[in-house]
Amino acid sequence: MQQQLIERDKKVNWHPYTQMKTACPIPITKAEGAYIYDADGRRYIDAVSSWWVTLHGHAHPYIAQKVSEQLYLLEQVIFAGFTHPNAIELSERLLNLLPINQQKVFYTDNGSTAIEVALKICIQYHYNLGKPKNKILAFKNAYHGDTFGAMSVSGRGAWTSPFAGQLFEVIFIDAPTSENIEMTRQLLNEHSEEAVCMIYEPLIQGAGGMLMHKADDLSLLMRFCKSKNVLLIQDEVFVGFGRTGKLFAVDHLTEVPDIMCFSKGLTGGTLPLGITTCTQEIFEAFYADDKSKALFHGHSFTASPLACAAALASLDLLLEESTQQKIKNIVCLHQAFIKKIKNHPKLKEVRQMGTVLALECKTINGTSYFSDMHQTLYAYFLEKGILLRPLGNIIYLVPPYCVSEEDLNEIYKVILQALELL
């Protein structure tokens, strides 16, 4: 069965971020909790939450129940000219958990589109006020998605080079440190007149290699931007919903952004959904008798009632005391593991923020995604029954919150064994 699926897949499917000539995707036919199973019944611990989306475990019965009930009640309705209770309740509940300045919710269906909407809102905000601007600030090594706007504000590299001519110009600044903050302040001073907004992944730059910066440094940078009227887009697509140890990354900061983006863990990883939230002030720049001031953006599956049902169910689970305890346990176990390995001769740096742990291995051929280290480690972990997808020479863990202590210890053990290979 497994072999048949592999062959059929090879004939028809083109996989993401995959060189199809050398790849051999593994067919998965069922999943439960922290485990995924192939067609032959082989089990893998999903240590990356299936690309950072799964929060409470796979095929969670509570979420499945809620989505299934919704499926029989209202599966889909156009969200222009119509609305539905799930979208209303989800917006109300989410806004209640976010900083008080977040007042309106715009729905899409993935992280990249949540970013596109955020960028379009910022650009049109200035346009609607009669003061169009055209410079966007973003962090070096950022990742905000794969559509053109999101790609433009992401770090440039081998992935983006075929499109270099089509990407709009962005001013890239260093992620904040106490050392570079003065330089960044000067740069901001130079560009603040034309600056539309600054977009950033707060605290953890995920796809860039789980790079981390301090909450205090980010708060300071945000304060500079505010003093210069540069709008802030906080991309919590990855870090939202508990990954940093708090509900949202913004809960670590002393400043609040103007716009926030969510996806990935939003539905507990069950269905695709994206959300962009904004302040009342921004919303009001679009609120007018003049129809041309509206935000002309939408997707067929905007605010899918099914995806909203999954998000509501995931929120129920996330806010349970037992889930908060599970998150704390993961943080503690990571910390204990760090104590054990922080002076490991094969490691250049160990980083942790909440439930996210990253081990940067020493390398001679740089930190390229295309380095062999990624392939060697990936294959080794799979052979040991663990799904880990190193980013080049960076081994990282983003476990679902249901992961057991036993499984985490197994993952740590296999990582130590893997380091011996390098």
Ligand X SMILES: *Cc1c(COP(=O)(O)O)cnc(C)c1O
Q: Does 267 bind ligand X (CB under 6 A)?
A: no
- Among 47, 33, 46, smallest CA distance to 397 is for 47
Query: Which residue carries 């296999």 as its tokens?
Result: 414
Of residues 114 and 414, the one with the C-beta less far from ligand X: 114
How many angstroms separate the CA atoms of 215 and 253, rounded? 6
Contact indicator for 143, 51 with CB cutoff of 8 Å = no
Query: DSSP letters of 370-408?
Result: TSHHHHHHHHHHHHTTEE---BTTEEEE---TT--HHHH
For residues 96 and 37, what is the distance between their CA atoms, to the nearest angstrom? 37
304 binds ligand X (CB under 6 A): no
Cβ proximity to ligand X, 237 vs 418, nearer residue = 237
- Closest approach of ligand X to the CB of residue 53, in Å: 8
- Residue 277 in contact with ligand X, rule: CB under 6 A: no
Q: Rule CB under 6 A: is residue 314 a binding residue for ligand X?
A: no
User: Candidates 26-34, 108-116, 174-182, 331-339 — which segment interacts with ligand X by CB under 6 A?
Assistant: 108-116
- Burial of 316 by CB count in 10 Å (0-12 exposed, 13-18 middle, 19+ buried)? middle
Length of the chain: 422
Interface segment toward ligand X; rule CB under 6 A; list 109-117, 243-251, 330-338, 398-406:
109-117
Q: Are 268 and 261 in contact, with CB atoms under 8 Å apart? A: no
50 annotated ligand-binding residue = no
46 near ligand X (CB under 6 A):
no
The residue among 111 and 399 lying less far from ligand X, judged by its C-beta, is 111
Minimal distance, residue 7 CB to ligand X, in Å: 28
Using DSSP, state whether 58 is helix, strand or coil.
Answer: strand
From the CB of 354, what's the least distance to ligand X, in Å?
Answer: 15
Residue 139 in 3-state DSSP? strand
Catalytic residue numbers read 17, 143, 235, 264
Q: Candidates 142-150, 251-259, 361-369, 405-413 — which segment interacts with ligand X by CB under 6 A?
A: 142-150
- The residue from 206, 208, 240, 245 that contacts ligand X (CB under 6 A) is 206
What is the three-class DSSP state of 114?
Answer: helix
- Flag whether 298 is marked binding: yes
HSE-CB for 60 with a 13 A CA cutoff: 26
Asked if 108 interacts with ligand X (CB under 6 A), we say no
Cα 385 to Cα 9, 47, 230, 322: the distances in Å are: 22, 10, 47, 27
**CA atoms 400, 403, 408, 411: torsion sign:** negative
CB closer to ligand X out of 237 and 278: 237
Q: How far is the CB of 170 from ligand X (least distance, A)?
A: 15
**Tokens 């309106």 sit on residue:** 104
Is 112 annotated as ligand-binding?
yes
Q: Supply the minimum distance, in Å, between the C-beta of residue 16 and ligand X.
A: 9
Binding of ligand X by 232 (CB under 6 A): no
The answer to whether 270 and 63 have CB atoms below 8 angstroms apart is: yes
Kindly list the distances between the CA atom of residue 99 and the CA atoms of 95, 239, 263, in Å, as whole numbers in the listed order: 8, 16, 18
Minimum distance from residue 172 beta carbon to ligand X (Å): 16
Q: Answer for the pair 80, 298: CB distance below 8 angstroms, yes or no.
A: yes
Among 122, 199, 225, 237, binds ligand X (CB under 6 A): 237
- Known binding residue 243? Answer is no
- Residues 143-172 touching ligand X, rule: CB under 6 A, are 143-145
Verify binding: residue 200, ligand X, rule CB under 6 A. Answer: no
> Does residue 91 have a known ligand-binding role?
no
Residue 125 lies near ligand X (rule: CB under 6 A): no
Give the number of residues in contact with ligand X, rule: CB under 6 A.
14
Residues that bind ligand X (CB under 6 A): 110-112, 115, 143-145, 201, 206-207, 235, 237-238, 263
Going by the annotation, the residues of the binding site for substrate are: 51, 143, 264, 298, 389
Going by the annotation, the residues of the binding site are: 51, 111-112, 143, 235, 264, 298-300, 389
